[in-house]
């Protein structure tokens, strides 16, 4: 019998392989395990209405915008996202409120004696769907973990499938080309279920259109952005917000009273969404951003330049299964680099980090093992108008004291 929340999270992480902590060895492709655990807990997915979101970048932001817009339209909304930054409960929310500790305890005790070969992601998904059914959610916004076709979330038949975009990430699992990766993401397309696609490259759009046609699924290709003349919304979020608004329209929901730019300012409050060009409340011109692949970093740097920061100081940390070659393209766009380790076991560390960074041809480099010390160093180094970007991994942000305080404060409300 598990009696404490801390015992449950320890059991979850020790009993089930977690990609967040172990990386590739924890990945379990396929749907059979998920189907088995969902059957064991009463198939809650059969009584829920889903918006299923996949994509290389932007899917977390798009999920948050969709959830917020739905809440503003008067609906009760469950969200399932990953990874978490500080507390496991961040992954499972209803109207922005995380699952209660007591419900985590109850679920763990319910399935503890079940003999199933599950991953951490699969058991967490089952917990989420049980919670959403209990909470009588009108809609569930479901973010894929990786890919689409073999992702555990693909056991559901949604009202709408959303594919934000395609980029190079998780190649060891999804393929070594954009077309291969797109093929995996296209796996969430279901017979006669509407599809919304934010990808713009014709070669990839053709792949999605062909898959949709084969399955008689109506497809909308959204290449629009929110109009924001005051530059209040980061440039790359304008497209994510536009996709989210289009998702509601496809579902037949009136969006006339929804202001996407104003929503950006309440997105954390409404959904718990944090970590994409999230401004510090402690320090001026300091942003936290979880961009963890080449396309994400390029987009973030472009947005930062549009915000009047052409030459920031960048504090960067990455998982050791990521290639960092893309950083070389920013040799003239970053004033100083501070490369940082983080506490998650997947971090680049020590000599390995120095060797990889040394091959990039960057100037003005420092190394540190503590992101909070790196922040203090950057604050001392910068000019009055210069920005600081903390980026490269969700796990780097997890170690930031300000992020920990913000999330812990919300969880205890």
pLDDT in tens, 260-296: 999 999 999 999 999 899 999 999 999 999 998 898 9
pLDDT value of residue 17: 66
The residue ranges of every structural domain in the chain are 5-271, 278-411
Question: Is the confidence at residue 332, as pLDDT, over 70?
Answer: yes
Q: Which CATH class is domain 278-411?
A: alpha beta
Give the homologous superfamily in CATH for domain 5-271. Mur-like, catalytic domain (3.40.1190.10)
pTM: 0.94
What would the pLDDT profile of 76-131 be if each residue is shown by its tens digit?
Answer: 999 999 999 999 999 999 999 999 999 999 999 999 888 678 889 999 999 999 99
Instruction: Give me the half-sphere count of Cα atoms (radius 13 Å) on the Cβ side of residue 262.
Output: 5
**pLDDT-based confidence at residue 14 (cuts at 50, 70, 90):** confident
């Amino acid at each position: 019998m598990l009696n404490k929340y801390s015992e449950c999270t320890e059991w979850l992480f020790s009993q089930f392989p977690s990609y967040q902590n172990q990386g590739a060895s924890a990945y379990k492709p396929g749907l059979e395990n998920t189907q088995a655990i969902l059957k064991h807990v009463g198939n809650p997915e059969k009584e829920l209405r889903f918006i299923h979101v996949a994509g290389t970048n932007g899917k977390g932001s798009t999920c948050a915008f969709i959830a917020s817009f739905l809440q503003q339209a008067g609906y009760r909304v469950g969200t399932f996202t990953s990874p978490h930054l500080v507390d496991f409960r961040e992954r499972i929310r209803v109207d922005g409120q995380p699952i209660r500790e007591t419900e985590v305890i109850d679920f763990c005790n319910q399935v503890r004696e079940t003999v199933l070969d599950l991953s951490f992601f699969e058991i967490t998904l089952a917990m989420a769907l049980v919670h959403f059914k209990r909470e009588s959610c009108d809609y569930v916004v479901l973010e894929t973990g990786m890919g689409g076709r073999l992702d555990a979330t693909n056991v559901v038949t949604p009202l709408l499938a959303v594919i934000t975009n395609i980029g190079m990430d998780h190649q060891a699992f999804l393929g070594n080309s954009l077309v291969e990766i797109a093929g995996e993401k296209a796996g969430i397309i279901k017979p006669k279920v509407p599809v919304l696609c934010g990808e713009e490259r014709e070669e990839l759009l053709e792949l999605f259109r062909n898959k949709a046609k084969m399955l008689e699924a109506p497809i909308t290709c959204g290449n629009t952005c929110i109009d924001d003349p005051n530059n209040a919304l980061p440039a790359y979020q304008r497209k994510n917000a536009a996709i989210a608004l289009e998702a509601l329209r496809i579902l037949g929901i009136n969006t006339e009273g929804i202001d996407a730019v104003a929503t950006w300012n309440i997105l954390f409050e409404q959904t718990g969404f944090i970590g994409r060009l999230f401004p510090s409340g402690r320090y001026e011109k300091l942003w936290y951003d979880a961009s963890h692949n080449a396309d994400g970093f390029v987009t973030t740097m472009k947005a930062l330049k549009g915000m009047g920061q052409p030459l920031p100081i960048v504090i960067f940390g990455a998982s050791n299964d990521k290639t960092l070659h893309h950083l070389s393209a920013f040799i003239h766009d970053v004033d100083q680099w501070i490369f940082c380790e983080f506490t998650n076991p997947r971090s680049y560390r020590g000599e390995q980090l120095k060797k990889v960074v040394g091959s990039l041809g960057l100037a003005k480099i420092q190394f540190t093992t503590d992101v909070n010390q790196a922040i203090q160093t950057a604050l001392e180094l910068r000019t009055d108008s210069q920005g600081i970007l903390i980026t490269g991994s969700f796990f780097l942000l997890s170690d930031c004291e300000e992020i920990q305080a913000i999330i812990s404060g919300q969880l205890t409300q």
